[in-house]
Amino acid sequence: MKIQELEQGTELSLEIVWGESTYEIPSKIVLSMAGRVFVQSFTYKGKTLDLTNPSFSGMVFNIYAPNPKTGKRLVWRSVTLEMREVKEKIYYEIKTSTFRAEGQEVERRDAFRIKINLPGAVVIPDEGREIDVIIYDFSREGIAFTYPKDLKLVGGLVKVYFQEQLRDHFFEIKVTARCVRKKAGDRYLYGCHIRTLEREAAIYLNQKTLEMQMEAIDAQRRATSGGTLPMGPGTNLFNIGKMP
């Protein structure tokens, strides 16, 4: 299928390949009209990234999204994201070449994990007690934390909590998960499968992932060219992925 056939609201991933580095940023289609599809523009430090700027000429952009009919993952490679103003808002219009207009099926990959390294708490419902932990990483499918002692958690349900301030938004993350693995080390690492991802946690993951990836891209650009990311007019970072 063509990417223009995807409906408004479809969640997708933008993969940026730059030399040997790969970055994956969550997004979704916020406008679909007259055979054209648009995603929210990305901003970094309050400015919109102009992805058509010659400074990005070494980057390749791929789009991943589920096929609504089969559920299988599709990829559109080497797409172009062109800035467009629609009703006084800046978006990226996704464009594909004629040769790559049809999405290709690819194997589904594990959910992208982000390192957290923040203090948190775990409640063990069966025992009614709360313990202080360090949140190790987080994804749409799982969360991991560390604790200095061996706990009998594998196979049981836990409730995990942590907080973080991202720019001007304070997030309180709460997830219910089943502990599925334990790894011994300097601290015990407990990996858990999330049962249901609440909206607040999903928004946090999007914003945290975007911020980390943009910081990495900016750092790489500074290291190779000494410049900053080319910007244009746009919206605040925390509007990314939301409906206009």
What are the pLDDT digits (tens) for 104-140? Answer: 888 766 667 888 999 999 998 877 789 999 999 998 8
Distance CA 46, CA 228 (A): 13
**Overall pTM > 0.75:** no
**Contact yes or no for 33/212 (Cβ under 8 A):** no
Distance CA 72, CA 52 (A): 30
**Contact yes or no for 191/135 (Cβ under 8 A):** no
Distance CA 132, CA 122 (A): 7
Distance CA 174, CA 153 (A): 18
| Radius of gyration, CA atoms only, the chain | 20
Measure CA 51 to chain center.
Answer: 18
pLDDT tens-digit map of 210-232? 788 777 777 776 766 655 555 54
Supply the mean pLDDT for the chain.
82
Least-confidence region, from 114-118, 144-148, 167-171, 179-183: 167-171
Q: Look at residue 167 and tell me whether its pLDDT is greater than 80.
A: no
Q: What residue type is 87 in one-letter code?
A: K
Give the CA dihedral 88, 53, 1, 25, nearest 10 degrees: -80
How buried is residue 84: exposed, middle or buried, by Cβ count under 10 Å (0-12/13-18/19+)? middle
Residues 6+ apart with CB under 8 A from 153: 124, 179, 182, 190
Q: What is the mean predicted confidence (pLDDT) over 57-85?
A: 86
